[in-house]
Structure 1
């Protein structure tokens, strides 16, 4: 799995007029992927998603944001970033042109999920019973294609 340079990603986002960057993680453990359920009263409420969140001005780069967001949302610690899975664009709840960049990661303590911003979590082998957006499904499919090939 190849990983583009973070500076190339940032440069492309500026060129494309991206107002907000978001980072996301496909966390796999024992053949399952971690999904989080958004609070019902939140933007895209009730949907299942990957651990993800906004890049903050205090983040030194996208990887710093990725590590921070995974820890904030799940209590888990990333031990390795194994590859870049891609990105998708959307309009945020505040109307910003947003791009989510997602990486496959390994965590050191997958059995210690502690939620801070979501209603539920699930380690799943398939998203069949945990509907995700088409964009998130494409990222999961991209990840699964790399681990089974």
Structure 2
């Protein structure tokens, strides 16, 4: 499994002036992955994205945040973190310099999907019918191009 040291990631982020960390997941299930559609009245409203969210002060590390965010947004439980796909930077709706770190994961209970923050979900094999941002597309392409280890 290709997974960088979490302390090295956060140290590099600090050195780069990152104000806010976000974690994201490509949830892989039987050759499909999960996309979520943001509510239209939200930041980047109406766009399709991966399950993701801010790292909170109560999270012990990026992995803890990843587990919490996947469960909060989807009701699913991560069973395995299978690899690290990379990161991208953006400016949040509140103007913070933000970096999203994204991993591939599998879940224990894919049939128990329950949305709490998004309008729609789709298990897909490509983003053709559910367009995503260029940054998310690059992460998905990395995932689809082969093993992350």
Q: Which residue number corresponds to residue 17 of structure 1?
A: 17
Pairwise CA distance, 1:46:
0.2
TM-score, normalising length: structure 2: 0.97
Alignment of 1:43-122 (within 5 A): 43-122=43-122
Matches within 5 A, 1:120-131: 120-131=120-131
Residue aligned with 1:9, SS: helix
> Are positions 1:138 and 2:126 aligned together?
no
* Structure 1, unaligned runs of 5 or more: none
User: Unpaired runs of 5+ in structure 2?
Assistant: none
Secondary structure, in 3 states, of the residue corresponding to 1:72? helix
Q: How many residues align?
A: 149
Superposed CA RMSD: 1.3
Corresponding residue SS for 1:58: coil
TM-score (structure 1 length as normaliser): 0.97
Q: Shift in Å at residue 30 of structure 1?
A: 1.3
Does the residue aligned with 1:83 lie in a helix, a strand or coil? strand
Equivalents in 2 of 1:146, 1:128: separation in Å? 19
Cα distance, 1:50 vs. partner?
0.2
How far does residue 147 in structure 1 lie from its aligned partner after superposition? 3.9
